[in-house]
Amino acid sequence: MQLLPIRRAVLSVTDKSGLPDFAKFLNENGVELISTGGTKAQLTAAGLPVTAVDSLTGFPEMLGGRVKTLHPHIHGPILADKDDPEHLATLTRFGLAPIDLVCVNLYDFAKAQAANADLKTAVEQIDIGGPTMLRASAKNFHSVLVVPATQYYPEVVAALKANAMQAPLDLRQTMAARTFALTSAYDAMIAAYLGKA
């Protein structure tokens, strides 16, 4: 599809700069917000209505926050091809609604590395759920708009304003390419660190 209507968004970010304004823009334009932990707390404090991820999955965050979004009730709606009737029927069968926008930025592994954190502490800054959601969204850019960093908020807002809250295909593909470049660099940084540890 050329233009993707944005109705539901997952926001789960480490860098929360600019987040309240971005989320407020989405909310004011009828987008349902879904979030986790600290991101949800910040959005709630800003007076925005937010659905907790654990209310969708039926499971609380566990293992000290290592498991939050790794669940079919999150990844099914992210990976569903909206042009495939069978995919949409599967979501309906499980009582799930598609997710149209995924806004995620990653645990700051570089900061832990720069602080000369011990190995165990540094390993806890290796993000798993974030890259998984980013890669799933980027793979499915035909049906999802992925926003992998705060620097892209103005570009996304401008595009959505210009297209009546619909994300153009060229924007979705560009953001997917940026996302894969980001996750690739993130993995390379971790690989280099562990190779020297």
Rounded to whole angstroms, the Cα distance separating 143 from 137 reads: 8
> Is the distance from CB of 12 to CB of 130 less than 8 angstroms?
yes
Give the E-state strand segments of 47-107 in sequence order.
51-52, 101-104
C-alpha gyration radius of the chain: 17
pTM for this structure? 0.90
CB 133 within 8 A of CB 76: no
* DSSP tag of 62: B
Over the stretch 4-55, which tens digit does the pLDDT of each residue have? 999 999 999 988 989 999 999 999 999 999 998 889 999 999 999 999 888 7
Which residues have a Cβ under 8 Å from the Cβ of 161 and sit 6 or more positions away?
none
pLDDT in tens, 45-87: 999 999 988 877 766 675 556 666 667 788 899 999 999 999 9
Query: CB of 134 within 8 A of CB of 146?
Result: yes
Rounded CA-CA distance 197/192 in Å is 9
Token look-up 């233009």 returns 3
Q: Which two tokens stand for residue 88?
A: 């949409």
C-alpha span between 51 and 145 (Å, rounded): 19
CA 171 to chain centre: 16
